[in-house]
Amino acid sequence: MTTATAPAEVPAGSGPWQLARAELRRRTSVKVSLFIVALFVLMAAGAPLLSGLGGWSPDEFDKTAVDPYLGGMPIGPLGGISADHWLGVEPVTGRDLFARVVQGAQVSLLIAFTATAIVVVAGTAAGIAAGYFGGRTDAVLSRLMDLTMSFPSLIFMIAMMSVAKDVNRIVLMTAVIGLFGWPGIARVVRGQTLSLKHREYVDAARVGGSGPWRILSRDILPGVAGPVIAYTTLIIPGMIATEAALSYLGVGVRPPTPSWGQMIAESVAFYDTDPMYFVIPSLCLFLTVLAFTLLGDALRDILDPRGSRT
């Protein structure tokens, strides 16, 4: 049994976006999620500055921070946390974990955000075109969606990342992840467009002489913006997890460029002897994915309430 919550207090006559903002401000989970998201985004954006404040670059070795007689284990408690190394150091190499975590945030979030942008733009364009024009356009795009969704994407990603040796890994990962992500949002947008294209205001614009481009940009696109925004925030954690999984499997970002998935993979060998090396990047990944997921769920409930019940 669920308890009904009091509606957010908003001025009379407020539009749907004002109502959505008021509802978002009312939810504690949204406030916490936004704080965590903002924290990691700022961390990623200011990675070089933060590394400079810490006094260490991500690739700089500090042999004085590890004990060569104990297999290169960090000197000091909690993985070598000290005034010199705020989150400790990597075993064996002595590289500063704080510098590598913030640099890994930049790499992981850059790939996730760029791949999400590709997915949203391509999926929205394909979904609107399929839903509005119908006929052969709808048939071709729908079959392309079905083909892409039925393809074993993870196997293809692993194969592509393994075969492509001398390319920019960040660009390749972004393109490959984005290639398989657009059909989901395209299906959502197509369904919304089908329900909007026969509305009275769209028919009025068509009778008034407006062309397809004007109708799509001024009447259809604003109508699908809510579900697209909600779906976007739900895509991002999946993109972050996909990048981390590929890097964990060894086919993602290559050393010495750090990413959270790569750091987690390297820390497995030291799980028993230096658990902080595993905990710190894992906690960053967990908090980021959780924050985006909670934020996406809240936006979906508010901006696309019919979709949240299906």
Residue 3 has pLDDT above 50, yes or no: no
On whether the CB atoms of residues 261 and 248 are closer than 8 A, the answer is: yes
pLDDT at 6: 42
Q: Select the highest-mean-pLDDT range: 125-129, 199-203, 260-264, 298-302.
A: 125-129
Sign of CA dihedral 165, 171, 174, 175: negative
- More confident call, 198 vs 121: 121
When the pLDDT of each residue in the chain is averaged and rounded to a whole number, the result is 84
Q: Which two tokens stand for residue 92?
A: 């064996």
Apex CA 53: angle with CA 90 and CA 80, to 5°?
25
What tens digit of pLDDT does each residue of 15-49 get?
556 766 777 778 888 889 889 999 999 999 998 89
Strand (E) or helix (H) holding 146:
helix 135-150
Cβ–Cβ contacts within 10 Å for residue 21, how many? 15
Per-residue pLDDT band for 310 (boundaries 50, 70, 90) equals very low
Mean pLDDT of 109-121: 92
pLDDT at 1: 41
Q: Closest Cα partner for 109 from 227, 244, 228? A: 244
Nearest-CA neighbor of 289 among 117, 116, 112? 112
Task: State percent of the chain over pLDDT 70.
Answer: 92
Sign of CA dihedral 59, 269, 37, 303: positive
Give the gyration radius of the chain's Cα atoms. 23
pLDDT at 4 > cutoff 50:
no
Determine the Cα–Cα distance for residues 114 and 101; give it in Å rounded to an integer.
20
Closest alpha carbon to 232 in 97, 64, 74, 115: 115
pLDDT for residue 305 is more than 60: no
pTM: 0.84
Q: Token pair 């200011």 is at which residue?
A: 46
The mean per-residue pLDDT over the stretch 201-221 comes to 84
In three-state secondary structure terms, 274 is coil
Instruction: Tell me the average pLDDT across 165-190.
Output: 86
pLDDT at 203: 82
User: Above 60 in pLDDT, residue 174?
Assistant: yes
Task: Identify the pLDDT of residue 14.
Answer: 53
Question: At 149, is the pLDDT very low, low, confident or very high (cuts 50, 70, 90)?
Answer: confident
What pLDDT is attached to residue 8? 47
Greater confidence (279 vs 9) lies with 279
